[in-house]
Structure 1
Amino acid sequence: MKKIILTGCLAVSALFAGSANAQTFADVEKPTDATPFSIETTLGGTYGNGMNWTAPALRGRYFLDNNIAVRLQVGLGDGMGSAMSTTERYYENADGSGGEGTLEFNRMAVNLQLGGEYHFVGTQKLDPYAYLGVNFGFGNQKIVATELDPTDTYNADYSYESSGSYSNIGGVLGLGMDFYFVENVYIGAELGLGVTGFTYQDQERTDNFVVGGTQQTVENKVAGYKESFIGTQGMLRLGWRF
């Protein structure tokens, strides 16, 4: 009987000790205003026809207190997986012999978001919040064709260049949450509704070619336009608060 009682006391003591340790560890896992900075990267996202961020994007947050944080997110690329630069080669003959024409693409795009978050009480590991963000960005593309005509056929007497740029601005409102699965490291999710407007500048193109032994230059301009989208925006994130 004494052995049973002793065993029971030891089991209860171990249970309380384990609970106390877990409680202490949980308190450490979810940081306080003593650790105001966090940095995170997006793991991926779907955005409908709204703002597209290339994954991964990088985001920094600063907690003004336990409830309010400001954030800045930076993404590079057009969000569609386009290469920064591409060179395509076109040969005069099907077997790769003869002259060679080239078609070069050079692209650049930057997307930014400036916003704020309001964090609710949550639990010791789960940190839910509402957020508001203002999105803006810009990009451009330049195409250079050398010894190549507009039908992508080798032509030693033809070359052209074209360039165009765009800018965008919009906003998003939504809900998110962070889950601290190890000390100071969290995985998070966000889901919001956003609107984005794109402004495409005039696209300019210059063609140079030879006709009857005479060099000709033709300049064309395609008028720019505007478009806007509204759609849901969702993403997963991995972050560290320090």
Structure 2
Amino acid sequence: MKKLFLASAIALFATVSAQEYKPAAGDVTVDLGVSGGLGNTSIGLADGGAAFKVRYFKTDKLAYRFTMVLANNSDTDNSVTNVVSKDNDFALGLGFGAEKHFTGTDRLSPYVGGDIMIGYASQSSKSTFTPTSGTAVVSEVKGPNTFGAGVRGVFGADYYFAKRVFLGVEAGLSLMYSSEGDTTTSLTGSPDVTVKGGSNFNISPSVVTGIRIGYAF
């Protein structure tokens, strides 16, 4: 009887010890990408953006996930006399999916999962030359804008280095369809020139957010 009681106490302590660090059913985790790639490069997400993920743990081993990558860059160059150049890039990627977590250790939580993904990216550039006399000359390129959709399988792990606080890493393989819009070039005094876009389908590896840091609520 004493042995049975001791075994039950040890099992209970191990469960409590594990849950002290890792999330359980009903918990929500939020994490941010702190280095590495952003989103899925197959849908043309730009560098220099922000990536985050939210998960809801339906059970201790099953979590639903939402991911978002956002990049918005705008640069102005005045280094050339009488010329102002501006570049604008925007990208948004969204993912919806689930994760299956394995036992791991008290602090390590490995998992596999999958996402349904959509993404949009746009770009434009404009250069204005203003002579000391006469009319300004403006050249501008708009596009191509890109839309992507597909699925991605992922594998990763979270390590809880403190209570409810973790570092994570994730990678995967994606199947993506992307559609590229037209590119229009305009120049003062000349007719616009438009190049038609196209579409493609590819399979590619992807780093989701490189290293992430997160917290379990």
Scaled to the shorter chain, the TM-score interval is 0.7 to 0.9
* Shift in CA distance, 52/58, structure 1 to aligned 2, threshold 3 Å: farther
Paired residues, number:
199
Deviation of 1:24 (Å): 5.4
SS state at 1:57 partner: strand
Q: Distance in 2 between matches of 1:31 and 1:106?
A: 40
Cα offsets for 1:4-44 (capped at 9, x unmatched): xxxxxxxxxxxxxxxx999855441123214x100001233
SS state at 1:28 partner: helix
Deviation of 1:195 (Å): 2.4
SS state at 1:124 partner: coil
Q: Distance in 1 between matches of 2:165 and 2:136?
A: 60
* Shift in CA distance, 201/51, structure 1 to aligned 2, threshold 3 Å: closer
**Are positions 1:29 and 2:21 aligned together?**
yes
* Shift in CA distance, 157/114, structure 1 to aligned 2, threshold 3 Å: same
**Aligned with residue 44 of structure 1, among 32, 35, 39:** 35
* Shift in CA distance, 119/21, structure 1 to aligned 2, threshold 3 Å: closer
* Shift in CA distance, 58/52, structure 1 to aligned 2, threshold 3 Å: farther
Cα offsets for 1:132-180 (capped at 9, x unmatched): 01221112112222227xxxxxx94522222111111222112222121
* Shift in CA distance, 32/48, structure 1 to aligned 2, threshold 3 Å: closer
Aligned equivalent of 1:69:
63
Aligned equivalent of 1:177:
157
Aligned equivalent of 2:78:
89
Deviation of 1:184 (Å): 0.4
Give the aligned residue type for 2:97.
Answer: G
**Are positions 1:227 and 2:200 aligned together?**
yes
Q: Distance in 1 between matches of 2:104 and 2:129?
A: 64
* Shift in CA distance, 65/27, structure 1 to aligned 2, threshold 3 Å: closer
Q: Distance in 2 between matches of 1:48 and 1:58?
A: 13
* Shift in CA distance, 131/226, structure 1 to aligned 2, threshold 3 Å: same
**Are positions 1:161 and 2:134 aligned together?**
no
Identity of matched residues, %: 24
Cα offsets for 1:191-212 (capped at 9, x unmatched): 3212223211011222213xxx
| TM-score normalized by the length of structure 1 | 0.70
Structure 1 unaligned residues grouped into runs of 5+: 1-19, 78-82, 149-154, 210-216
Q: Distance in 2 between matches of 1:29 and 1:183?
A: 5
Q: Distance in 2 between matches of 1:161 and 1:108?
A: 17
Query: Which one has the largest radius of gyration?
Result: 1
Alignment check: 8 A CA contact 2:96 2:116 kept: yes
Alignment check: 8 A CA contact 1:49 1:230 kept: no
**Are positions 1:198 and 2:178 aligned together?**
yes
**Are positions 1:113 and 2:95 aligned together?**
yes
Structure 2 unaligned residues grouped into runs of 5+: 1-11
Point out 4+ residue stretches in structure 1 off by more than 4 angstroms: 20-26, 46-49, 51-56
Q: Which has the higher mean CA deviation after the structures are superposed, 227-236 or 133-142? A: 227-236
Aligned equivalent of 1:3:
none
Cα offsets for 1:30-78 (capped at 9, x unmatched): 23214x100001233358964565564111111112122111111112x
